[in-house]
């Protein structure tokens, strides 16, 4: 019988790979033969479509391939290595000033090498410190290295020293593919037929050694689909498990306190808030555990929606917990919710790090015996010792900042409590289906009445004096301002203006006749709290801050924000920061002060910020520029660690994969049918550990 997967076969069983070389592969996550086969090329070199050296243009990046004619170490004021390469149309000098002794050993006259980099001119065309891939050695005729489309693999200097440059990977992967037994399919045969996908073996063959571009694209599509299919299978299983839990709570009544709170709010709920509350109310009443994502842009009113849901739970005799990613945000939620609910005798407490042992014990006792109805905190809520008497509703704010397991731990502290996940970070549809595919989604797509759009301006350093004058004009009207810096203190490696230094300069000279405050992440919690309260109360005119104000500070009187070194921030973060102004009825401005020269990506980010305030459009652009891994960091673990799929470009494939995966689980909830045996086996052996601990069957 053919072997379905090669998860147990170590790379040490491959001819020519001993313990030392295997150790190099282990460092990049390649431990088994299967890992090696799924280590895909980073790009491909089409030798029929390369730029000729004679066609190179100065200051333009390009890739050429040619034969090395000489490798010379040149002495002088600064030692350098010069590699002369020709392709029949001319010659190019490739120059190294660093690691010259090592690089000199890499190249040999007669080798065919691809070089990529920006072209400069010094006695002819040259590239300084170009990327390189050795295609073939002198007199080498193996079509693996001399064919039309040549795969180039990700590598490191250590790997290259161990023989795992692109040429080394091509050799060893070809050896495996040509000698291993046939692999069984990992997708249902009827699915493969329905979408006319390549078989797995054929896909792997064309990924590593494509005969033409059409077959390469077919192989990529099939393997992208598989990766996204198993992710969606994981999410479908999660949703099925939640739906299967029939011991959920039915919150039957909307009590007089809840009705009173809505009637006494100092503002009218938007139509979007009312719609979302109806969706949440329907979930809470159903008797099935709620598992809902509440998504809304900065200032759309998520907190009041969550507060009303929490009060419904309390009036039905249950406790609720709200978990926020930072102490500042947890404290902000506490101040808001406590202010709204204290009139009804609801006991709301804050649990955070830094509390005295006695304070913490009082909170733990109150939760355990049910005297505390609402607790708000950070990840401290999931720590050992935090036990509830009757936890009925869990609210998690800015979910993407938590690990998946933290969400699960908090939920397990109750008996099938309802879960409401909130995020102010607009999420592109492909990411929402990836990160939150197991959740029902509610969207607050309407801003409260009276809110005016924030005008956004992009300025250079030469406009600094004019910017300060504009800020002064707002302060003279009785308004307040934020000035945001990217770092807390001066870094020797990165020449950025620092918040502490900026604070001293601004408070002693530029705004010496105004009250200037400082807020940064390294301050003690009580210091941050005092500063925030002072700014909100109007006792500080200018708040100099790092990005800790991205979430958690609500000052409706602040009408202007200056973001220093705006080119250093991601788009989503810039949008979150901008959301701190424009929270009142007055027109507000966000000024992006950028230092030149700008990278192409930085220019795209700033252009987008000026052009639109639509959080979802901004999120799509951020995903396109930075990719999901950077957008959400590494906290989501395997959910974003794709080997080949790209959420910025593979939305249509994701949609198909989701439809097929959810259909399979609907039809075969335990993946128990014989025709799905390989799906079950593949999920449990290859993907289960990547995505999470979901039991099948």
Predicted confidence (pLDDT) per residue in 453-506, tens digit: 899 999 999 999 999 999 999 999 999 999 999 865 555 444 455 788 889 999
- Structure confidence at residue 639 (pLDDT): 53
Q: What is the pLDDT of residues 274-297, one digit of tens each?
A: 999 999 999 999 888 888 889 887
Report field, pTM of the whole predicted structure over 0.95: no
- Structure confidence at residue 668 (pLDDT): 92
Put residue 628 in one of left, alpha, beta given phi > 0 → left and psi -120 to 50 → alpha: alpha
- Structure confidence at residue 348 (pLDDT): 95
- The C-alpha atoms of residue 503 and residue 501 are separated, in whole angstroms, by 5
Buried b (16+ CB within 10 A) or exposed e, 171-185: ebbeebbeebeebbb
- The C-alpha atoms of residue 303 and residue 295 are separated, in whole angstroms, by 11
Please state at what angle helix 571-578 crosses helix 600-611, rounded to 10 degrees: 30
Give the count of alpha carbons within 13 A of 176, CB side only: 28
Phi, psi of 466 (to 5 degrees): -65, -35
Strands of the sheet containing 374-377, edge to edge, are 348-351, 374-377, 319-323, 391-397, 418-423, 291-296, 440-444
Q: Provide the 3-class DSSP secondary structure of residue 252.
A: coil
| CATH no., domain 256-286+301-423 | 3.40.50.300
CB 353 within 8 A of CB 323: no
- Structure confidence at residue 14 (pLDDT): 83
Residue 367 has pLDDT above 80, yes or no: yes
Spatial neighbors of 465 by CB under 8 A, at least 6 apart, are: none
- Structure confidence at residue 40 (pLDDT): 94
- The C-alpha atoms of residue 96 and residue 82 are separated, in whole angstroms, by 7
Residue 597 neighbours by CB distance under 10 Å: 8
| CATH no., domain 43-152 | 2.40.50.140
Fold: same for 256-286+301-423 and 454-612: yes
Residue 194 has pLDDT above 90, yes or no: yes
Q: Which residue has the higher pLDDT, 30 or 549?
A: 30
Of the candidate ranges 74-88, 216-230, 245-259, 616-630, the one whose mean pLDDT is the lowest:
616-630
- Structure confidence at residue 147 (pLDDT): 62
Q: What is the pLDDT of residues 221-262, one digit of tens each?
A: 999 999 999 988 988 887 787 666 557 889 999 999 999 999
Average pLDDT, the chain: 84
Query: How many percent of the chain have pLDDT more than 70?
Result: 87
| CATH no., domain 454-612 | 3.40.50.300
Residue 322 has pLDDT above 90, yes or no: yes
- Structure confidence at residue 39 (pLDDT): 92
Phi, psi of 24 (to 5 degrees): -65, -40
Where are the domains positioned within the chain? 43-152, 256-286+301-423, 454-612
Residue 636 has pLDDT above 60, yes or no: no
Residue 637 has pLDDT above 60, yes or no: no
Looking only at the bridges linking them, the beta strands covering 440-444 and 131-136 are: unpaired
- Structure confidence at residue 466 (pLDDT): 96
- Structure confidence at residue 400 (pLDDT): 52
What would the mean pLDDT of 99-111 be, rounded to a whole number?
87
Distance of CA 684 to the CA centre of its chain: 26
């Amino acid at each position: 019988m053919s072997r379905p997967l090669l998860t147990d076969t170590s790379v040490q069983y491959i001819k020519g790979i001993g313990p030392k070389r295997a150790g190099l592969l282990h460092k990049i996550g390649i431990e088994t033969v299967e890992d090696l086969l799924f280590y895909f090329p980073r790009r491909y070199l089409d030798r029929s479509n390369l730029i000729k050296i004679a066609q190179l243009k100065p200051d333009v990046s390009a890739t050429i391939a040619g034969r090395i004619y000489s490798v010379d170490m040149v002495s002088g004021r600064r030692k350098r290595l010069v590699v002369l390469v020709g392709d029949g149309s001319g010659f190019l000098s490739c120059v190294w000033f660093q690691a010259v002794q090592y690089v000199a050993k890499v190249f040999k006259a007669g080798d065919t090498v691809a070089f990529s980099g920006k072209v400069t001119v010094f006695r002819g065309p040259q590239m300084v410190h170009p990327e390189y891939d050795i295609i073939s050695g002198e007199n080498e005729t193996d079509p693996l290295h001399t064919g039309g489309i040549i795969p180039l693999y990700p590598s490191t200097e250590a790997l290259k020293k161990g023989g795992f440059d692109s040429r080394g990977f091509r050799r060893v992967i070809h050896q495996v593919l040509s000698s291993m037994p046939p692999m069984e399919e990992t997708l249902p045969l009827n699915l493969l037929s329905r979408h006319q996908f390549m078989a797995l073996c054929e896909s792997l063959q064309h990924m590593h050694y494509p005969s033409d571009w059409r077959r390469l694209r077919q192989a990529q599509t099939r393997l992208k689909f598989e990766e996204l299919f198993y992710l969606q299978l994981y999410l479908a299983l999660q949703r099925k498990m939640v739906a299967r839990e029939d011991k959920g709570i039915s919150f039957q009544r909307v009590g007089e306190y809840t009705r009173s709170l809505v009637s006494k709010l100092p503002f009218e709920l938007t139509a979007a808030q009312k719609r979302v509350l109806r969706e949440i109310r329907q979930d809470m009443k159903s008797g099935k555990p709620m598992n809902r994502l509440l998504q809304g842009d900065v200032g759309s009113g998520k907190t009041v929606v969550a507060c009303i849901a929490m009060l419904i739970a309390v009036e039905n005799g249950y406790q609720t917990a709200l978990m926020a990613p930072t102490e500042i945000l947890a404290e902000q939620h506490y101040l808001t919710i406590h202010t709204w609910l204290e009139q009804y005798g609801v006991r709301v407490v804050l649990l955070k790090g830094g509390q005295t042992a006695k304070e913490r014990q009082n909170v733990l006792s109150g939760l355990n015996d049910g005297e505390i109805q609402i607790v708000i905190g950070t990840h401290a809520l999931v720590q050992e010792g935090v036990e509830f008497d009757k936890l009925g509703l869990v609210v998690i704010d800015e979910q993407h900042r938590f690990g998946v397991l933290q969400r699960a731990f908090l939920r397990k502290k109750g008996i099938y409590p309802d879960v409401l996940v909130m995020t102010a970070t607009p999420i592109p549809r492909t990411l929402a289906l990836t990160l939150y595919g197991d959740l029902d989604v509610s969207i607050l797509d309407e801003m409260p009445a009276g809110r005016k759009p924030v005008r956004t301006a992009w300025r250079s350093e030469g406009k600094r004096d004019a910017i300060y004058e504009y800020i002064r004009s707002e302060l003279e009207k009785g308004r307040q301002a934020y000035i945001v810096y990217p770092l807390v203190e001066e870094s020797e490696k990165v020449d950025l203006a620092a918040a502490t230094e900026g604070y001293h300069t601004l408070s002693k000279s530029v705004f010496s006749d105004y009250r200037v405050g400082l807020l940064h992440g390294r301050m003690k919690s009580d210091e941050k709290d005092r500063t925030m309260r002072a700014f909100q109360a109007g006792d500080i005119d200018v708040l100099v801050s790092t990005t800790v104000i991205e979430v958690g500070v609500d000052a409706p009187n602040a009408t202007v924000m200056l973001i220093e070194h705006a080119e250093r921030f991601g788009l989503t973060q810039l949008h979150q920061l901008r959301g701190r102004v424009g929270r009142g009825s007055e027109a507000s401005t966000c000024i992006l002060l950028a230092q030149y020269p700008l990278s192409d990506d930085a220019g795209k980010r700033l252009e987008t910020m000026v052009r639109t305030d639509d959080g979802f459009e901004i999120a799509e652009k951020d995903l396109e520029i930075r990719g999901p891994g950077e957008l959400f960091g590494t906290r989501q673990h395997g959910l974003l660690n794709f080997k080949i799929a790209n959420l910025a470009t593979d939305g249509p494939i994701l949609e198909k994969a989701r439809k097929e995966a959810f259909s399979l689980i609907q039809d075969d909830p335990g993946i128990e049918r014989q025709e799905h045996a390989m799906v079950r086996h593949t999920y449990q052996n290859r993907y289960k550990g990547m995505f999470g601990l979901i039991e099948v069957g």
